[in-house]
């Protein structure tokens, strides 16, 4: 038996409005459900999905058939099925299962589609914010019960965008990366942060962590998408923004405090990364 414990389908006229509204056209929610499956319960989608479908298993497990592929979807796992597909899901003969599902669409989903996979794990941890994810589901259900005013639907869709990000980018939050990254990367970043006022060479950095320049550069870029020196430069520019916002230090002073021997080069580096000069950056809020 399939029971819809909670269910909300957003009316067609509302989704059409969302589809054409610049604030929501990129990503908007179409339907959300909390489903309870009895033992050996089937859910068959015979027609092609008109929207993308997020399925999150909160209890038990089910066999998911997508085309010729069959996978097991277990507790704390999720999948996102792209629109245009058909599927079949069958709960196991072990215990009742529970799932939360969200149908969604929007122009940005074509860009996000590369992040969609059949089944991914959500390892229960503080970093993955499991409790926060449940809170977001509850918040969406609660607000949908209050009607479909523009203001309410804006709130619902921005909340859903946050929720979707906790799934798609679950392992890409800064806390998760810091917790799982190579200790060499952690050591390197710590060294750079502690020496932000200096001008370091790649050799000095590699000597500090005890690895060759080639090895360090390779694993650092793989983990952070930046070379060690490029990452160091970004740290300096971030710190300079803090000085520009919170102090009355001259730009030349800030440059020297961050290890730049030439203030002109600092301004050039700042312009390249921030899209404006340090002077314009400081004046932007006046």
Which pTM was predicted? 0.62
Which CATH code for domain 2-171?
2.60.120.10
| pLDDT tens track for 143-173 | 998 889 899 999 999 999 999 988 887 655 4
Nearest-angstrom CA–CA distance, 187 and 23: 42
* Contact present, 62 and 92 (Cβ < 8 Å): yes
Under the banding of pLDDT at 50, 70 and 90, the label for residue 131 is low
Per-residue pLDDT, averaged over 215-239, amounts to: 88
Q: Is the pLDDT of residue 129 over 80?
A: no
Q: Is the pLDDT of residue 175 over 80?
A: no
Q: Is the pLDDT of residue 128 over 70?
A: no
- The number of residues in the chain equals 286
Per-residue pLDDT, averaged over 117-134, amounts to: 59
Under the banding of pLDDT at 50, 70 and 90, the label for residue 256 is very high
The candidate with the shortest Cα–Cα distance to 49, out of 26, 79, 75, is 79
Per-residue pLDDT, averaged over 223-235, amounts to: 87
Q: Where are the domains of the chain?
A: 2-171, 181-283
Topology match between the domains 2-171 and 181-283: no
Q: Does domain 181-283 have CATH number 1.10.10.60?
A: yes
pLDDT for 130: 53
């Amino acid at each position: 038996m399939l029971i819809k414990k909670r269910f909300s389908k957003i009316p067609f006229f509302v989704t059409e409005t969302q589809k054409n509204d610049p604030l929501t056209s990129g990503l908007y929610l179409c339907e959300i459900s909390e489903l309870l499956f009895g033992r050996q319960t089937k859910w068959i989608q015979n027609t092609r999905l008109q929207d993308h479908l997020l399925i999150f298993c909160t209890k038990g497990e089910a066999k998911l058939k997508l085309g010729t592929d069959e996978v097991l979807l277990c507790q704390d796992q999720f999948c996102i099925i792209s629109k245009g597909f058909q599927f079949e899901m069958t709960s196991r003969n072990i215990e009742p299962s529970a799932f939360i599902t969200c149908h969604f669409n929007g122009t940005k989903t074509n860009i996000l589609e590369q992040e969609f996979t059949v089944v991914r794990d959500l390892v229960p941890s503080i970093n993955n914010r499991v409790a926060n994810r449940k809170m977001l589901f509850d918040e969406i259900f609660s607000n949908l019960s209050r009607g479909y005013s523009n203001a309410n639907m804006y709130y619902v869709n921005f909340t859903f965008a946050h929720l979707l990000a906790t799934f798609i980018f679950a392992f890409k939050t800064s806390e998760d990366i810091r917790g799982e990254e190579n200790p060499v990367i952690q050591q390197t970043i710590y060294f750079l942060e502690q020496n932000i006022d200096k001008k370091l060479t790649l050799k000095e950095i590699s000597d500090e962590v005890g690895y060759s320049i080639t090895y360090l550069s390779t694993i650092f870029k793989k983990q952070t998408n930046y070379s060690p020196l490029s990452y160091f430069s970004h740290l300096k520019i971030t710190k300079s923004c803090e000085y520009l916002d919170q102090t009355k230090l001259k730009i030349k002073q800030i440059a020297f405090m961050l290890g730049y021997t030439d203030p002109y080069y600092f301004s050039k580096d700042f312009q390249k990364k921030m899209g404006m000069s340090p002077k314009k950056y400081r004046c932007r809020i006046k």
